[in-house]
A and B are shown apart, each in its own frame.
Chain A
């Protein structure tokens, strides 16, 4: 069964203190790995898609990387506005299924 595990559950950083969030996955055939950001009371907002091991994507202070078993979301010199829940999800090639399987997320708090 496809599974996504994110760690840590929560992370508190000082402004400017870089860190990484982890997403480990088990999937029969990975079609894509997705990172989303979710603010309180809102729906998830798309950040990145990664398709193959070794791939990297960057957006402002965020960089996502992918290996065969996990993905990392690196946050460089974060600002308070980066505070949110970061969700990882996978999409597989299996059968007729076409649904994203989400992890439980990492709640990031960046203090000024």
Chain B
């Protein structure tokens, strides 16, 4: 059990550019979640997968955001045409099917200039 791994740890981009983040969950977990956290706030749910199926998406997830989990293993989160309001920590978590105890990665800190 090596934990949830996220890459990159930090990303600085210019407004209007596309960015992609990767998450490698704990191998035996079939659920994978994406959350977003801004300074002084708790994590906000974005979306989750059970195996390769994306089962729920938040209204926060505009059409500029897309997430995939091919073959039910790692996941990617892509943000197109980034805006300054997208600046945040993007957290990935994984869990067993009951979706209760989530194991979080260290996050990707995105700064949009």
Contacts and interface: CB of A to CB of B under 8 A. Distances in A.
Q: How large is the interface on A (under 10, 10 to 19, 20 to 34, 35 or more residues)?
A: 20 to 34
Nearest to B92: A43
A42 to B, nearest CB: 5
A13 interface: no
B61 to A, nearest CB: 12
B107 interface: yes
B8 interface: no
B4 A99 contact: no
B65 interface: no
Contact of A49 (B55, B93, B101): B101
Interface string A83-105: 00001010100001111111111
Contacts of B48: 98-99
Contact of B107 (A43, A45, A100): A43
22 contacts: A4-B42, A34-B101, A41-B107, A41-B109, A42-B107, A43-B104, A44-B43, A45-B104, A46-B102, A46-B103, A49-B100, A49-B101, A87-B42, A91-B100, A96-B56, A98-B31, A98-B55, A99-B45, A100-B43, A102-B42, A103-B42, A105-B42
Given A100-B102, A102-B44, 17 more contacts: A34-B101, A41-B106, A42-B107, A43-B93, A43-B105, A44-B102, A45-B104, A46-B101, A46-B103, A49-B101, A87-B43, A91-B99, A98-B48, A98-B55, A99-B48, A101-B45, A105-B42
Interface of B: 4, 31, 33, 40-45, 48, 55-56, 58, 91, 93, 99-107, 109
